[in-house]
Structures are given as structure tokens and as C-alpha cells.
Amino acid sequence: MRRTKTVCTIGPACYSKKMLESLIRAGMDVARLNFSYGDYKTYVKVIQDIRSVSKKLGRPIAIMQDLQGPRIRIGDIEEGLKVARGQKVIVTSGRIAKRTRGQVVIPQTYKNLYQDIKKSDVILINNGLVKLKVLNIKKRDILCRVEIPGQISSRNSINIPSRPLNISPVTSKDKEDIKFGVDHDVDFIALSFVQRAKDVVTLNRIIRRRELQIKNKLKDKTFFSERSRAINYTKIISKIETKIATKNFDEILKASDGVMVARGDLGIETELSRVPLVQKEIIAKSLKSGKPVITATQMLSSMVSGPSPTRAEISDIANAVIDHTDAIMLSQETASGKYPVDAVKVMNRVAWETEESPYDDLISKEEAYKYLPISLAVSSNAVKLAKEVKAKLIICLTSTGYTARTIVRYRPEIKVLALTPYKKIYNQLSLSWGIIPFFFSFGHDVDTVMRKAVNFVKRKKIVKPGDKVVIISGYPFRVLRLGDTNLIKVEKV
């Protein structure tokens, strides 16, 4: 059984229902919709098809909407503009590129950049292929010297790695996209270019406002009853792709439901030699917090155009698994590549082989604090108990997903089933390492619910008579409140 989950970006190469089913059969756990591209009409059909195939195959598939975010770009400039080392250029807003007294004027889309940037700061253009150093700022004009020469084109990306920008984390386009995502019940929304925790709080407010608007419009108020509290709303994945975000990571993680190591822009804003170390730091902190973490970008780039991966790509996937990431992500490989299904199969095979090796084993460490919160103490002891009694399975009864996530925080070697009565949680748990979600209707009596849970896994032929299972839950059941894991029981089938 593969436990590291697979995120696939859905694009033109796999828009058809047939291809979506092939991806799911190959091992896709989460479908990522990149809202920097595509249109609503296409995504409505894609969402419907994913839900349909998921139901047909009896497999939970989470849908993650990835927002474009406040990307700063070059404005309209002359075709094939080249800048030379040492050349003086002016970066500004509201102008079309032209030459003024021998200097090139380069427009960009963030109108207040001149207020945020300082002398000696660096401006990176086109994924860092062109580097400018700020010499002076006069009104809206930023005088720069070219340090790395190259060609600049309209719509090239701009990165300012040295300092935070006072730019809204959610653009007007994002707000419309969020409405679409919430209206169509996506499971996660990924926030791009996060700089600080308050960016996540801003997105949270927008999501909740839209959910409330939908609920108030519905005649059947019970439709959204399972999302009547914040913990059951669409969850937020913060993309760590700026230097500022790495500095503010602890506060961002605390405000988020999960994170993504977005190594593309992160590799532009941070020294490339630091990216593997930042990846390990982010994964380690996410593991300790019990929140899912996705490792993304260029994991199988060679399979965009070719049928086979490089040895370095295989090692990259294996190392992310050894780091204990929850999920690994394919971007262009599945969105527009020639071999999307093969890429998923390769990724899953490498993950499975790595998990079977001793290199993936999590070394148990003493907690840094003397006393554990009740929920973590119960979860930690459930994993130890399962090992001591040689249980075949850990069953988590969960209304929020919290109990299951606290269990896999300890990376147990046996199967972990999450039984939940909520569709939203059922789908969302497909992102977390090692969790196998199932629909399961709760009652109120402890003995009755646990007996039903054991009979359920027996009918699914996951266990057989004589096997032992460890059941963990929060009690009372169906209380939508985090941190209430307080019950362990050992049952013999």
C-alpha cells in the first residue's frame, strides 16, 4: 500500500473524463486546478467528471483550487528587448517601454512598487534570468543597473526577494475564482505568494463570507449543516514560494490547514543551494504540527516530453518521501505533458518502493515539552498500543479529520482507516499521508458505534476473525470541535 499521496495538475492533456479516470486508477489522490489558466466552463465539467469517477470507483478524490495570486509582471514592451550588463534601466508603472536619454524604461504591473522597494534591493525578471540592482528611486521611477543581462518580454514574471510587499494577497480575479470554487464545493484552496499569516486570515474571511451567502440562499438549510463551523469549510493550503514566507513560516503554518513547498518561485527567491534544506525544514515542522505538506515542482519534468524520468528525478521523489512529505505533486507533467498517466505510475512506484525501505522509517523522538495535550498523548499511545498488541489496523472515528491526522503524525507502519460521516472530510483526508478514508454513519452510544466500526472493516475484508484493531476517537461523537481525541479501545475481530 502506497501511503504518500499524489497530487496531479489537471490541464488540456487530461480534461476528458476517460483521462481523469485513468489518472485516478493510476493513483491520483488530489486533483489540482490551476486558475492561472483555464476557464470556468471547462472547470465545471472537470469538477463534475472527477466527482462522478470518484463515486464510480469508490475512491475519495480531493479537488484543490490553486489561485493565481498577486503575481507582478512586466507590462507591454518592445519585442525581444535585450539588456546588457552594467546598463542603466528605469522600472516604473503606467508606461509602455521606451528609451529615455539612452535608458530603457520598463513598465510593470504593481503600481506601488516604488513605495515598497529600497536602494540596493534586487529585482529578478523572467524567473531570475535577468537581475537588476536598485540604484535610486525618484517618484515612481526606480533606477536600476543590470547585473545579469538577458532578454525581457511582455508578461515576464518579477520577483522582489529582499522584502515584503504591501500588496493584497487576494486579487480581484482571485475573489471571483474563490466564489466559483466555493460554489462548486472544492475541498482545498491554495493561496499563492503568501507572505504572512494575515494573508491566510484574509482568504479565510472571504471563504466564510461566501459560504454564509450560499447557506442563506438555500431553502434547505441542512445542505450545508456539516460546514456550519470553520473546521469544515474549504481548507487553505499556503504555498511557500517567497523568501519572506520562509522567514514567517511558523505563523503561516499556524494559520493554515496545510502547506505546499512550491520550489519553482522558491528557487528564484532563495539561493538554489538552500532549497533542499528549506524543503526539509518545512516538512519537519508540518509533520510535528500534524498538518499536510505537499512537495511540488519539477519532480518529473523530463516526462513532459519523454516517456522516461531521469535518475535525478527518481532520487528527488524518493528524498521527498524520506523527508516524510504527505504528498508529491505533478504540474506540467499531467497538465500538458505527453505521458500524464505514465508519470503518475512512475511517481507512485518510486514512493511505494521508498516506503518499503528502512530509509523511510520515522525515528521516534521525545517531545520537546514535558506534557502533551490530551489529543496528542492519546494518539501517540494509540500508535504504541497498536504495535504492542500487534494490531492489524488503526480505526479513527472522526468528524473533523483531526483524529486521523494526529495518528499519522507518528507515521505508523500499519494501515490507518478514517471513518467519517461527512463528504467534505472524506475527500480532504485523501491529501494526508497514509489515511484511507471511508464514509461511516455515527451513532451516540460508544459500544454500538465501535461494534459497527469493527463490523464495517470486517465486511470490507480489511481484517479477518482473530485480528486485533485499535479504535481511536473523540467523544461525544459528531461534535465539530478540534482537539477532542480522548478515547482508545482495543477490539478483537
pLDDT digits (tens, 9 = 90+) for 375-434: 888 888 899 999 999 999 999 999 889 999 999 999 999 999 999 988 999 999 999 999
Tell me the pTM. 0.92
Among residues 130, 159, 188, the one where a domain terminates is 159
Among residues 159, 182, 212, the one where a domain terminates is 159
What's residue 180's pLDDT?
97
Q: Which residue has the cell 475564482?
A: 177
On whether residue 361 sits in a domain, the answer given is: no
The three cell numbers of residue 145 are 543597473
Q: What share of the chain is helix, strand, coil (3-state, %, to 5)?
A: 40, 25, 35
What's residue 229's pLDDT?
42
Residue 302 near residue 312, CB atoms below 8 Å = no
Q: Are residues 153 and 286 in the same domain?
A: no
What's residue 448's pLDDT?
87
Pairing of strands 293-296, 157-159: unpaired
Please choose, from the candidates 146, 36, 129, 149, the residue with its C-alpha nearest in 3D space to the C-alpha of residue 87.
146
> Each residue of 85-119: pLDDT tens digit?
999 999 998 666 555 666 789 999 999 999 999 99
Average model confidence (pLDDT) across the chain: 90
Among residues 305, 323, 356, the one where a domain terminates is 356
> CA 347 to CA 355: how far, in whole Å?
12
> CA 258 to CA 281: how far, in whole Å?
14
For residues 226-234, give the mean pLDDT. 54
Expressed as residue numbers, the domain containing 452 is: 374-492
On whether residue 241 sits in a domain, the answer given is: yes
pLDDT band at 339 (very low <50, low <70, confident <90, very high): very high
Residue 114 near residue 132, CB atoms below 8 Å = no
**DSSP code at position 482:** T
Residue 330 near residue 344, CB atoms below 8 Å = yes
> CA 19 to CA 10: how far, in whole Å?
10
Q: Are residues 234 and 88 in the same domain?
A: no
> Each residue of 434-475: pLDDT tens digit?
999 999 888 777 888 889 999 999 999 999 999 999 999 887
Residue 413 near residue 430, CB atoms below 8 Å = no
Q: Are residues 334 and 228 in the same domain?
A: yes
Q: 340-356 and 17-26 helices cross at what angle (nearest 10)?
A: 10
Strand-pair partners of 124: 131, 159
HEC per residue, 120-181: CCEEEECCCCEEEEEEEEECCEEEEEEEECEEECCCCEEECCCCCCCCCCCCHHHHHHHHHH
On whether residue 263 sits in a domain, the answer given is: yes
Q: Are residues 288 and 224 in the same domain?
A: yes
Q: Is the pLDDT of residue 488 over 50?
A: yes
Q: Are residues 77 and 210 in the same domain?
A: no
CATH classification of the domain holding 270: 3.20.20.60
Q: Are residues 139 and 247 in the same domain?
A: no
Q: Are residues 195 and 325 in the same domain?
A: yes
pLDDT band at 226 (very low <50, low <70, confident <90, very high): very low
Q: Are residues 321 and 436 in the same domain?
A: no
> CA 423 to CA 421: how far, in whole Å?
7
Q: Which residues contact 248 (CB under 8 A, 6 or more apart)?
A: 195, 196, 197
pLDDT band at 79 (very low <50, low <70, confident <90, very high): confident
Q: Are residues 63 and 212 in the same domain?
A: yes
Q: Which residues contact 366 (CB under 8 A, 6 or more apart)?
A: none
On the 0-12 / 13-18 / 19+ scale of CB atoms within 10 A, 306 is middle
Q: How many of the other CB atoms lie within 10 Å of CB of 79?
A: 7
Q: Are residues 288 and 409 in the same domain?
A: no
Residue 146 near residue 130, CB atoms below 8 Å = yes
Maximum mean pLDDT: which of 158-172, 212-226, 290-304, 466-480:
290-304
Please choose, from the candidates 384, 382, 391, 342, the residue with its C-alpha nearest in 3D space to the C-alpha of residue 472.
382
Q: Are residues 30 and 126 in the same domain?
A: no
Q: Is the pLDDT of residue 312 over 90?
A: yes
| Phi, psi angle pair for 72, to nearest 5° | -90, 135
For residues 470-481, give the mean pLDDT. 73
For residues 354-360, give the mean pLDDT. 94
What's residue 368's pLDDT?
46
Q: Which residues contact 72 (CB under 8 A, 6 or more apart)?
A: 108, 109, 110, 113, 157, 158, 159, 160, 165, 167
On whether residue 164 sits in a domain, the answer given is: no
Looking at 241-296, which runs of residues are DSSP E strands? 258-262, 293-296
What's residue 118's pLDDT?
94
On whether residue 368 sits in a domain, the answer given is: no
Q: How far is CA 189 from CA 7, 52, 182, 366, in A?
A: 14, 21, 9, 34
On whether residue 309 sits in a domain, the answer given is: yes
> Each residue of 130-167: pLDDT tens digit?
999 999 999 899 999 999 999 999 989 999 998 889 99
Q: Are residues 175 and 246 in the same domain?
A: yes
Please choose, from the candidates 30, 27, 4, 70, the residue with its C-alpha nearest in 3D space to the C-alpha of residue 331.
30
Residue 169 near residue 193, CB atoms below 8 Å = yes
Q: Is the pLDDT of residue 169 over 60?
A: yes
Residue percentage of the chain with pLDDT more than 70: 92
On whether residue 365 sits in a domain, the answer given is: no
Please choose, from the candidates 414, 408, 412, 413, the residue with its C-alpha nearest in 3D space to the C-alpha of residue 433.
408
> CA 133 to CA 124: how far, in whole Å?
9
Q: Quote the number of domains for the chain.
A: 3
What's residue 349's pLDDT?
97
CATH classification of the domain holding 419: 3.40.1380.20
Instruction: Name the least confident of 277-286, 345-354, 365-374, 432-441.
Output: 365-374
Q: In what order do the strands lie in the sheet with 468-474?
A: 435-439, 415-420, 393-397, 468-474, 485-492
Q: How many of the other CB atoms lie within 10 Å of CB of 492?
A: 12
Q: How far is CA 33 from CA 30, 43, 210, 428, in A?
A: 10, 8, 20, 15
Q: Is the pLDDT of residue 192 over 50?
A: yes
CATH classification of the domain holding 113: 2.40.33.10
DSSP state string for 41-58: HHHHHHHHHHHHHHHHHT
On whether residue 34 sits in a domain, the answer given is: yes
